[in-house]
A and B are shown apart, each in its own frame.
Chain A
């Protein structure tokens, strides 16, 4: 038998939100069809680093394990992506894992993605249907439009687009592509469109849409293939009309 096949990981670790990051190396026995998460689970089972020293298990987030929840995003070999769909066989070794530092690091590979959920609240990324009485069924959506909107609805708030964006950083308060594309989605819905102006006004605020610098990294990086830059350009057009309406028009919408 030949020598046992191994997998090498270099993992960026951080004990507390404020402490300095450091690197730790791990060597694991290879198993077929391993993904990054199964490797992290293996380390958790037996937290011993490459030097043979006992260490603490690595902290990371995960949930669905099928690339629809967005929780397990991290920077793998320099690229932000979901660790559940990152197959070891397809990765160059040593595999380097880092947290997405665009977000506050909680511990090791675990980050706090709250800012994206706050953005969704800020832009009112929902369809308001609550009333004091039964409002009845809403208008129907053409099937073709529904299929188109479905693509935008695939967003799982994973944070990869914000991590890839050069204009989302600690010097800027840019809201990022994720919530902007959701504005386009909910403005396209026949009932959601009742609040179209309100959502546009929100993304015209400081830190909003206008901060996009068209590097288009977001659309290249989105694991769900959402046309983020098309959404941004479409919103650029909508806000152009909105600002003209605000200045020259008199209708309060």
Chain B
């Protein structure tokens, strides 16, 4: 008898991508959006998040551990695929490939972003409007952040679609098509929220 770890790991990977990592992403982008209301509005929001009780507990169990598992197991999944869009240029096969590519881009982006902000904060830097303004003053970093955020929202929205399939929620082709439209909507909405926030710092 072969083991069953893989089944549970795959399901856990799919679940963690939405809860809590996906929810955290939405919350993070919404908080960022305060930047469109000016420096003070963003700093107040960021400060409020910093002041949350049980901050380290929340960070470790809602963000870092689930994210770390999702990232490492996701890399394994991404590199066991043999992409073949050249031969099979179907929409879902493109999404399959883009999910893996955007996953790797998102991992690189998030790793750098955590280093630059959260880890910098642990070493004494203050995370505020000015910090982001300084980072995004470089055109390279601005593009890096734009690509990073779009890749993240895509990965989340498309991952939400496959979450519904992987857990057996959308079974019929019709429900899967409707779920495609809904997740495209999620992608567009989150991308607007994310990109607007970035541009507010420029």
Contact = CB atoms under 8 A, between A and B. Distances in A.
B166 interface: yes
Interface size class on chain A is: 35 or more
Contacts of B10: 210-211
Contacts of B81: 166-167, 169, 172, 213
A116 B180 CA distance: 31
B53 interface: no
Contact of B171 (A79, A207, A210, A237): A237
Given A233-B170, A243-B7, A169 B82 contact: yes
Contacts, number: 115
Nearest to B5: A206
A210 B161 CA distance: 15
Contacts of B82: 166-167, 169, 171
Interface string B171-192: 1110010000000000000000
A33 B1 CA distance: 50
Interface stretch (B16-24, B29-37, B57-65, B89-97): B89-97
Interface stretch (A49-57, A60-68, A215-223): A215-223
B4 A206 contact: yes
- Give chain B's interface secondary structure class: helix
A119 interface: no
A172 B79 CA distance: 10
B11 A210 contact: yes
A253 interface: no
A233 B96 contact: no
A215 B6 contact: no
Given A79-B87, A166-B82, A233-B168, A214 B3 contact: no
A97 interface: no
Interface in B132-177: 161-162, 165-173, 176
Interface in A190-236: 204-217, 220-221, 227, 229-230, 232-236
A78 interface: yes
Nearest to A247: B8
A164 B96 CA distance: 13
B88 interface: yes
A78 B87 contact: yes
Interface string B89-118: 010110111010000000000000000000
Contacts of B90: 215-217, 220
A175 B108 CA distance: 32
Contacts of B97: 166, 215
Interface string A160-176: 00001011010110000
B51 interface: no
A216 B4 contact: no
A79 B167 CA distance: 31
Nearest to A201: B4
A239 interface: yes
A238 interface: yes
B2 A207 contact: yes
A46 interface: no
B84 A214 contact: no
A18 B118 CA distance: 53
A93 interface: no
Nearest to B164: A233
A240 interface: yes
Contact of B1 (A205, A211, A234, A237): A205
A211 B7 CA distance: 8
Interface of B: 1-8, 10-11, 77, 79-84, 87-88, 90, 92-93, 95-97, 99, 161-162, 165-173, 176
15 contacts: A79-B87, A172-B81, A205-B7, A206-B2, A210-B6, A211-B6, A213-B77, A213-B96, A215-B88, A217-B92, A220-B88, A233-B176, A236-B165, A237-B169, A240-B168
Given A205-B3, A215-B92, A234-B168, 14 more contacts: A164-B84, A166-B82, A166-B96, A171-B79, A171-B80, A213-B77, A213-B162, A214-B92, A214-B161, A215-B93, A221-B88, A232-B165, A236-B165, A240-B11
